[in-house]
Structure 1
Amino acid sequence: MSKLVHITSPDEFSKLLSSTMYVVTDFYADWCGPCKQIAPLYEQMASTFSIPNYLAFAKVNVDHVQPVAQQYRITAMPTFMFFKSGKQVAVNGSAAILGGDVRSLQGAAEKLGRLAKEKRDAGV
């Protein structure tokens, strides 16, 4: 079962950001080759690291949910962004990962997974 949250509207994205401490977001397009290449790895990260209310992995199709893509000025696909308490943040020094940089994405997912687990275990 996929733990990915497929965003279909700006309101849905807003609700996810407000209800989940950390959110990793994949801005992608169906026609994007690198997006298709990294998708199975992203899904695996979601299965490994997702913790309800603490860490979610979202996918935003830039062609179907254009207002969200425009809000975050997405110009390259895939673009991965990170959010904490509803605000965009940098992880490991990167505010966003452009393209299929597997090593950077894996490092960010592992770090957020660790932070989310610590927060959950501390009851924060």
Structure 2
Amino acid sequence: MQSRSNEFTVDIDVDDFEEKVIKVSYEKPVLVDFWAEWCSPCLFIAPVLSEVMNDYNGDVLLAKLEVDEGENMKLAGKYQVRGFPTIIMFQNGEEQARFSSARSKSFIEEFIEDNRLN
């Protein structure tokens, strides 16, 4: 499992998704990174996402959900994740926006600014 690389990133699973994503999203945007260990683009985007989270200094949080197998894969199915990585922004308990594939830092920052409600 990828380890957290800053204080604004948490590793989550299906059991704490409600608490660490849905509930927190009422206070601030939460990006959920649906990723897999075997996925090269997932490994590429991980440090980029961490850098963006550091730049936002806690105003936006990142939750990393490894979906290689089991219950976490069911959660990916619930949100109709079709490829990896898929990053979904949650706000006010709901999906606000999403993108898939490895992207640049500037793309991710623009995605956040274009889609955040607060």
TM interval, short-chain normalised: 0.7 to 0.9
The one of 4, 11, 14 aligned to 2:15: 11
Whole-Å separation in 2 of the counterparts to 1:23 and 1:101: 18
Provide the residue aligned with 1:100 in structure 2: 102
Q: Is the 8 A contact 1:50 1:57 kept in 2?
A: no
Listed as ranges, the gaps of 5+ residues in structure 2 are: none
> Once the 2 structures are TM-superposed, how far is the Cα of residue 115 of structure 1 from its aligned partner?
5.9
Which has more radius of gyration? 1
Provide the residue aligned with 2:66 in structure 1: 61
> Once the 2 structures are TM-superposed, how far is the Cα of residue 29 of structure 1 from its aligned partner?
0.4
Count of paired positions: 106
Q: Structure 1 segments of 4 or more deviating over 3 A?
A: none
Change (3 A) 1:57 1:50: farther
Listed as ranges, the gaps of 5+ residues in structure 1 are: 91-95, 117-124
Identity of aligned residues (%): 26
Whole-Å separation in 2 of the counterparts to 1:39 and 1:55: 15
TM-score by length of 1: 0.74
Residue 26 of structure 1 aligns to a residue whose secondary structure is: strand
Q: Is the 8 A contact 1:26 1:60 kept in 2?
A: yes
